[in-house]
């Protein structure tokens, strides 16, 4: 049997809705061995070398090829792409031009269709950053004799690609992703290449949806073992992010509400991935490695302080979602500010250590001298503040009768917020907002401005003060000066 006929036979198995799981699994394995043989992919250092890019990693040749063995992933993509080609053939007159971004060593998702369509019906541009993968692909093209289907072979970082071909793009195919769109450059490539698709053209996958959900791990195990019939182990919290042709490159934070209480063992918050390859061809929970849940955090329902979680996608060398927990706000009536007294010295020292993690370097000093050195550092800072600010008011922040922080304010002609510090477990609960808000009220009553300094590396603090009404007035190198004129 010729290579073309063999590939056609295998692809037929994967496209057929009559094929059972066993046949699909064997079909994917056959396709992998078929391509591996003609591409001459061997398991060695060169074929296992990952390429790290500014906007995500490009997986190695060997691992890109092995992906074919994930039969649900392979057959779902092939079925979706086959239908998309048929739809493009109806919509566009003449040859359908397809751009395959991240084609890997086999061109797995498009090469099989050279046995279904002739070269007047489809033309393919293959693109990848990995030169070793493209060398393997060229052997595949030669062995199958499909040179006439090839519009071009491009080696480039596709997150920065500029179209140099004088041909329209009717379909864009890119499968350069991981679960929850982490690590690999699917989002960056999609954002870069989607604008190149002609009007009415198709992006594959058509849509990738990332959602947040709480999972009951015990019920999930029973489900996987086939013991939980119809009992849900997933409590959905809502969509976090959608990737499609219209997504672009600006990613706003999406805040997801977290229930105050939830019965059962739904205590692991995960990001879930659903892939709509095209129309009805979809991949969902656990159907392949791309749709495995990605754990974010665990929730203790007996002591839950989280009321919401903000998710934002970021493109970087290690792309993915960053998150922040939004904790329940503390009732202002529970917060009390008290002038520092001699008895507070040990409490102040304890808070000082907690809010200065950089001082942990002293813990490596032998001979039990750590506390002595830290206390010396603390006393030096206290003395410096006393010399620097003539009208310094030092106060302890108390919550429910327990000291949890301090605030130092210089009450001169202009109020200077010198320092505010809260214990780790008391941050992001609205306590700082309450304390700073009281200072601003006092400033308004006295007709004064409030100034402070914040280091540039402390972006969270900068954003906090900005939201409280402070504006940057000038840059002092590693720090910036901020000012607020309460109205």
Residue 173 sits in a domain whose CATH number is 3.40.50.150
CATH number for 351 = 3.40.630.30
Q: Per DSSP, what are the bridge partners of residue 257?
A: 308
pLDDT at 374 over 90: no
Tokens of 394: 């030092």
Worst-scoring range by mean pLDDT, 62-76, 104-118, 269-283, 349-363?
349-363
Exposure string (b/e) for 275-297, b if CB count within 10 Å is 16 or more?
A: bbbbeebbbebebbebbbbbebe
pLDDT in the model for residue 457:
80
Query: Is residue 337 domain-shared with residue 473, that is, in the same domain?
Result: yes
Residue 248, pLDDT score:
78
- Considering Cα of 415, then 416, then 417, then 418, what sign does the dihedral take? negative
What average pLDDT does the segment 37-43 reach?
92
Rounded to an integer, what distance in angstroms lies between the CA atom of residue 81 and that of residue 278?
A: 7
**Cα dihedral value 8, 9, 15, 18, nearest 10:** 160
Least confident among 62-66, 280-284, 291-295, 423-427? 423-427
Helix (H, G, I), strand (E, B) or coil at 391: coil
| pTM for this model (two decimals) | 0.73
Specify the pLDDT at position 358: 64
Same domain, residue pair 476 and 354: yes
- Local structure of residue 351 (DSSP, 8 states): H
Same domain for 281 and 162: no
Domain boundary, last residue among 311, 327, 343: 327
Same domain, 234 and 137: no
Residue with tokens 């999609």: 190
Contact by Cβ (8 Å): 321, 303: no
- What's the whole-number mean pLDDT along residues 28-41? 96
Region 398-408: mean pLDDT is 91
pLDDT at residue number 371:
72
16 lies in the same domain as 78 = yes
Instruction: Please give the full DSSP string across 2-27, using - where no structure is assigned.
Output: -HHHHHHHHHHHHH-TT--HHHHHHH
Per-residue confidence band for 366, with pLDDT thresholds at 50, 70 and 90: low
pLDDT at 196: 93
Where residue 90 falls among pLDDT bands split at 50, 70, 90? very high
pLDDT of residue 356: 73
CB–CB of 56/319 below 8 Å? yes
What whole-number distance in Å separates Cα of residue 311 and Cα of residue 329?
19
pLDDT class of 9 with cuts at 50, 70, 90: very high
Here the tokens at position 326 are 């939004």
Strands 122-128 vs 202-204: parallel, antiparallel or unpaired:
unpaired
β 392-399/402-411 pair status: antiparallel
Q: Is 207 helix (H, G, I), strand (E, B) or coil?
A: strand
Q: How far apart are CA 49 and CA 57, in angstroms?
A: 11
Residue 43: per-residue pLDDT? 86
Answer whether residue 363 shows pLDDT above 90.
no
pLDDT digits (tens, 9 = 90+) for 236-247: 999 999 999 998
Q: Using an 8 Å Cβ cutoff, are 123 and 150 in contact? A: yes
Provide mean pLDDT across the span 7-25: 95
**8 Å CB contact between 108 and 31:** yes
Nearest-angstrom CA–CA distance, 347 and 344: 5
How many angstroms separate the CA atoms of 451 and 417, rounded? Answer: 6
- Beta bridge partners, 476, equal 479
Structurally, the chain folds into a number of domains equal to 3
pLDDT at 326: 84
Are residues 471 and 483 in contact, defined by beta-carbon separation less than 8 angstroms?
A: yes
Same domain, 370 and 391: yes
Residues 235 and 142 both lie in one domain: no
CA distance 169 to 97: 5
Please state which of the ranges 162-176, 198-212, 278-292 shows the lowest mean pLDDT: 162-176
In DSSP notation, 117-137 reads: S-TTTEEEEEEES-HHHHHHH
What's the token pair of residue 4?
A: 């073309």
Peptide bond into 248 cis (omega under 30): no
Q: Which helix (H) or strand (E) holds 335?
A: strand 335-339
Q: What is the pLDDT of residues 128-156, one digit of tens each?
A: 999 999 999 999 999 999 999 999 999 99
Per DSSP, the three-state class of 395 is strand
Mean pLDDT of the chain: 91
Which range has the top average pLDDT, 210-224, 225-239, 268-282, 412-426? 268-282
Non-local CB neighbours of 305 within 8 Å, separated by 6+ positions = 327, 328, 429
| Buried/exposed code over 157-175 (b: 16+ C-beta within 10 A; e: otherwise) | bbbebeeeeeebbbbbbbb
Expressed as residue numbers, the domain containing 300 is 208-327
CA pair distance 68, 20, nearest whole angstrom: 17
Choose one of 156, 189, 204: the last residue of a domain: 204
**What are the structure tokens assigned to 164, written together?**
């140099």
Enumerate the β-bridge partners of residue 132: none
**Same-domain pairing of 314 and 414:** no
Do 307 and 346 fall within a single domain?
A: no
Same domain, 154 and 13: yes
381 pLDDT exceeds 60?
yes
pLDDT-based confidence at 113, cuts 50/70/90? very high
**Distance, C-alpha 469 to centroid of its chain:** 30
Phi, psi of 282 (to 5 degrees): -135, 150
Backbone angles phi, psi at 246, to 5 degrees: -95, 0
248 and 194 in a common domain: no
Say which DSSP state 284 is in: -
Q: How far apart are CA 279 and CA 274, in angstroms?
A: 13
pLDDT higher than threshold 90 for residue 302: no
Where among 286, 312, 327 does a domain terminate? 327
- Judged against a pLDDT cut of 70, whether residue 32 lies above it is answered with yes
In this predicted model, what pLDDT tens digit does every residue of 404-428 receive, in sequence order? 999 999 999 999 999 998 988 888 7
Residues 167 and 287 in one domain: no
Token pair belonging to 188: 């960056």
172 in Cβ contact with 96 (< 8 Å): no
Residues 6+ apart with CB under 8 A from 285: 234, 272, 274, 291, 293
Which residue's structure tokens are 């320092």? 419
């Amino acid at each position: 049997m010729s290579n073309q006929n063999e590939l056609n036979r295998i692809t037929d198995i994967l496209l057929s809705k009559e094929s059972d799981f066993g046949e699909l699994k064997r079909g994917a394995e056959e396709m992998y061995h078929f391509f591996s043989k003609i591409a001459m992919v061997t398991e060695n250092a060169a074929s296992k070398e990952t390429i790290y890019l500014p906007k995500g990693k490009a997986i190695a040749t060997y691992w890109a090829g092995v992906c074919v063995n994930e039969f649900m992933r392979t057959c779902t993509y092939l079925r979706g792409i086959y239908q998309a080609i048929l739809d493009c053939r109806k919509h566009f007159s003449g040859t359908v031009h397809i751009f395959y971004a991240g084609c890997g060593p086999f061109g797995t998702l498009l090469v099989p269709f050279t046995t279904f369509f002739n070269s007047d019906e489809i033309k393919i541009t293959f693109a990848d950053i990995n030169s070793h993968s493209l060398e393997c692909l060229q052997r595949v093209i030669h062995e199958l004799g499909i040179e006439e289907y090839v519009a071009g072979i491009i080696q480039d970082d596709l997150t920065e690609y500029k179209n140099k071909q004088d041909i329209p793009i009717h379909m864009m195919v890119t499968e350069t992703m991981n679960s929850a769109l982490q690590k690999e450059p699917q989002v960056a490539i999609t954002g870069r290449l989607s604008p190149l698709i002609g009007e009415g053209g198709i992006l594959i996958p058509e849509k990738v949806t990332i959602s947040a959900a709480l999972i009951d791990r015990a019920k999930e195990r029973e489900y996987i073992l086939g013991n939980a019939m119809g009992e849900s182990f997933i409590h959905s919290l809502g969509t976090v992010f959608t990737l499609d042709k219209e997504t672009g490159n600006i990613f706003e934070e999406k805040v997801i509400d977290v229930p105050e209480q939830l019965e059962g063992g739904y205590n692991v918050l995960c990001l879930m991935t659903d892939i709509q390859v095209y129309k009805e061809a979809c991949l969902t929970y656990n159907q392949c490695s791309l749709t495995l849940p990605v754990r974010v955090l665990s929730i203790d329902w007996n002591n839950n302080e989280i009321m919401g979680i903000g998710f934002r996608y970021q493109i970087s060398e290690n792309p993915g979602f960053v998150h922040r927990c939004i904790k329940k706000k503390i009732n202002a009536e529970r917060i009390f500010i008290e002038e520092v007294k001699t008895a507070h010295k040990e409490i102040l020292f304890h808070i000082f250590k907690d809010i200065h993690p950089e001082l942990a370097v002293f813990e490596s000093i032998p001979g039990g001298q750590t506390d002595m050195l830290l206390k010396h550092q603390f006393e030096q800072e206290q003395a410096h503040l006393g010399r620097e600010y003539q009208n310094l008011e030092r106060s302890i922040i108390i919550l429910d009768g327990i000291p949890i922080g301090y605030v130092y304010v210089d009450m001169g002609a202009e109020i200077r917020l010198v320092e505010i510090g809260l214990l780790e477990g008391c941050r992001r609960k609205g306590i700082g907002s309450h304390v700073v808000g009281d200072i601003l009220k006092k400033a308004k009553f006295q007709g004064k401005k409030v100034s402070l300094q914040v280091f540039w590396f402390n972006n969270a603090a900068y954003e906090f003060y900005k939201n409280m009404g402070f504006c940057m007035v000038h840059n002092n190198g590693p720090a910036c000066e901020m000012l607020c004129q309460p109205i």
